[in-house]
């Protein structure tokens, strides 16, 4: 089997294959699809986490979200992204770039990611991503489509332009694969992703409960969006999480026994410090909202091809990070304040990945906005992929001091 070459991912596949959980089945189906695409010569399409896979699936091509591929590997081999980052550094990729992106470049160079037939990208969320996929296209020789995005979507004509870019993506995939989009098939796929979104939104609503049923990232929705959006396996995975949360609520179970403080974690989770949220829970801190899960989207109107494309194009702008990370700081701050209000946050932690210079550059503005409203906020550099930048001890010391301060102020 061609997939044997990708040892870490093969191990993950083998590890999950016999599990009954729908989340595991979703990942197994995705990995298995990639391995068999390699065996059968079916084209693999690289796409970033900011571009959903529905159109790729509807054309019967195999999606491979590069961020998900690397993130997943770290569950089996925590050193996987570190090895890739080191290879990227050695090749001259600047250390200041996003670690998710450096890992992708390094993984392509190490040949730990199956080669693409084509690359589909939207020009979001930030410059790290654009340049990374350009490097990947250069290294692999695969043709690439980039859906350009207007800086200000409220400008006259901006939405039309974006929808046209989305149509360009389909034309690119059709041309490169020699296939023609079947809009009835696309409707089936989008109706499936609509169901998945419905369950996800319901789950996020439940996280507003006090005390919260879960603390920290919910994962299945994020992996559904990255790997299998529009396939029944992703809908089943999200529904299973929702059902379990509802069951726990009915039995009076909560994320932490004595919820004292609600923390909005307004970034992606720390991939290498999986015990962090539990450790915060020991202090009575619950995290009802992690920005990675913050996917608040409308269902897509599937009545005509035009309405589907328009709806999918709009929905692509609601991907967590895409909606807030395109440069305008006010959008980020507005969303942060909205989330704190809706999910009843007592405070916020923004452990900003050094690659996210749009956050680092806005520390003062974010602090001012929170201070004016009396919201305690902790901002500090913490690489979410590479544990060598800020150690676990160092970040926990900062978080502990901050939470003690918030708890003290509540007395």
Binding-site ranges for ligand SF4 (CB under 6 A): 98, 100-101, 125-126, 128-129, 321, 325, 353, 355-356
Residue 241 contacts by C-beta under 8 Å, 6 or more apart in sequence? Answer: 23, 203, 218, 220, 221
Residue 354 vs residues 75, 90, 253, 257: alpha-carbon distances, Å: 22, 19, 37, 34
CB of 212 to ligand SF4, least distance (A): 25
Within a 10 A sphere around the Cβ of 293, how many other Cβ atoms? 25
- Measured CA to CA, the distance from residue 219 to residue 216 in angstroms comes to 9
CA angle 39, 44, 48 (to 5 degrees): 145
CB of 382 to ligand SF4, least distance (A): 12
* Chain position carrying tokens 């409308």: 298
Q: Which is nearer to ligand SF4, 100 or 145 (CB)?
A: 100
CB of 177 to ligand SF4, least distance (A): 27
Q: What is the distance, to the nearest Å, from the Cα of residue 97 to the centroid of all Cα atoms in its chain?
A: 18
Q: Which is nearer to ligand SF4, 128 or 235 (CB)?
A: 128
Q: Which is nearer to ligand SF4, 238 or 359 (CB)?
A: 359
Q: Quick one: which H or E segment has residue 264?
A: strand 261-265
CB of 200 to ligand SF4, least distance (A): 20
- Residue 103 contacts residue 385 (beta carbons within 8 Å): yes
Backbone φ and ψ for 349, nearest 5 degrees, come out as -120, 125
- Measured CA to CA, the distance from residue 80 to residue 116 in angstroms comes to 20
CB of 258 to ligand SF4, least distance (A): 33
Q: Which is nearer to ligand SF4, 322 or 337 (CB)?
A: 322
Q: Which is nearer to ligand SF4, 261 or 321 (CB)?
A: 321
Q: Which is nearer to ligand SF4, 48 or 220 (CB)?
A: 48
Token pair of 77 as six digits: 């081999």
Q: Quick one: which H or E segment has residue 74?
A: helix 66-76
Q: Which is nearer to ligand SF4, 35 or 266 (CB)?
A: 266
Residue 169 contacts by C-beta under 8 Å, 6 or more apart in sequence? Answer: 51, 55, 120, 122, 145, 147
Instruction: Enter the DSSP assignment of 125.
Output: S
Q: Which is nearer to ligand SF4, 9 or 353 (CB)?
A: 353
Instruction: Using DSSP, state whether 290 is helix, strand or coil.
Output: strand
Nearest residue to ligand SF4, using CB?
Answer: 98
Q: Which is nearer to ligand SF4, 356 or 406 (CB)?
A: 356
Return the beta strands (E) in 7-110 as ranges. Answer: 44-47, 62-65
CB of 281 to ligand SF4, least distance (A): 25
Q: Which is nearer to ligand SF4, 340 or 351 (CB)?
A: 351
Residue 149 contacts by C-beta under 8 Å, 6 or more apart in sequence? Answer: 122, 123, 124, 162, 165, 317, 326
Q: Which is nearer to ligand SF4, 37 or 325 (CB)?
A: 325
DSSP labels for 173-236?
HHHHHT----HHHHHHHHHHHHHHHHHHHHHHHHTTSSS-S--S---HHHHIIIIITTSHHHHH
CB of 357 to ligand SF4, least distance (A): 7
CB of 267 to ligand SF4, least distance (A): 8
Establish whether the linkage from the previous residue to 175 is cis, with ω within 30° of 0.
no
Find residue 264's DSSP bridge partners.
Answer: 289, 348
CB of 99 to ligand SF4, least distance (A): 7
CB of 205 to ligand SF4, least distance (A): 26
């Amino acid at each position: 089997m061609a997939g044997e070459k990708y040892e870490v991912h093969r191990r993950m596949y083998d590890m999950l294959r016999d599990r009954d959980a729908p989340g595991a089945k979703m990942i197994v189906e995705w990995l298995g699809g990639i391995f068999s695409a390699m065996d059968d010569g079916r084209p693999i399409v690289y796409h970033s986490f900011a571009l959903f896979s529905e159109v790729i699936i509807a054309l019967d091509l195999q999606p491979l979200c590069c961020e998900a591929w690397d993130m997943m590997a770290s569950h089996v081999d925590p050193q996987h992204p570190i090895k890739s980052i080191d290879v990227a550094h050695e090749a001259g990729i600047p250390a200041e770039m996003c670690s998710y992106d450096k890992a992708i470049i390094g993984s392509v160079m190490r040949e730990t990611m199956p080669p693409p037939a084509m690359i589909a990208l939207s020009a979001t969320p930030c410059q790290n991503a654009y340049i990374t996929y350009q490097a990947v296209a250069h290294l692999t020789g695969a043709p690439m489509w980039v859906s350009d995005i207007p800086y200000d979507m409220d400008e006259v004509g901006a939405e039309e332009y974006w929808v046209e870019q989305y149509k360009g993506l389909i034309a690119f995939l059709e041309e490169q694969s020699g296939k023609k989009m079947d809009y009835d098939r696309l409707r089936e796929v989008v109706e499936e992703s609509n169901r998945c979104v419905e369950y996800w939104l319901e789950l996020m609503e439940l996280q507003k409960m006090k005390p919260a049923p879960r603390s920290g990232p919910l994962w299945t929705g994020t992996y559904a969006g990255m790997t299998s959006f529009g396939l029944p396996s992703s809908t089943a995975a999200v529904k299973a999480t929702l059902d379990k949360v509802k069951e726990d609520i009915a039995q009076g179970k909560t994320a932490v026994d004595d919820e004292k403080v609600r923390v909005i974690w307004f970034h992606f989770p720390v991939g290498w410090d999986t015990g962090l949220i539990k450790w915060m829970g020991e202090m009575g801190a619950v995290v009802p909202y992690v920005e990675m899960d913050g996917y608040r989207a409308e269902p897509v109107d599937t009545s005509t091809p035009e309405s589907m494309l328009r709806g999918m194009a709009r929905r692509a702008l609601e991907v967590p990070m895409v909606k807030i990370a395109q440069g305008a700081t006010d959008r980020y701050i507005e969303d942060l304040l909205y989330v704190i209000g809706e999910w009843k946050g007592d405070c916020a932690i923004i452990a900003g990945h050094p690659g996210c210079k749009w956050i680092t550059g806005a520390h003062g503005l974010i602090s001012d906005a929170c201070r004016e409203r009396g919201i305690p906020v902790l901002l500090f550099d913490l690489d979410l992929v590479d544990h060598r930048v800020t150690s676990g001890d160092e970040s926990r010391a900062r978080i502990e001091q901050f939470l003690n301060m918030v708890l003290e102020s509540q007395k």
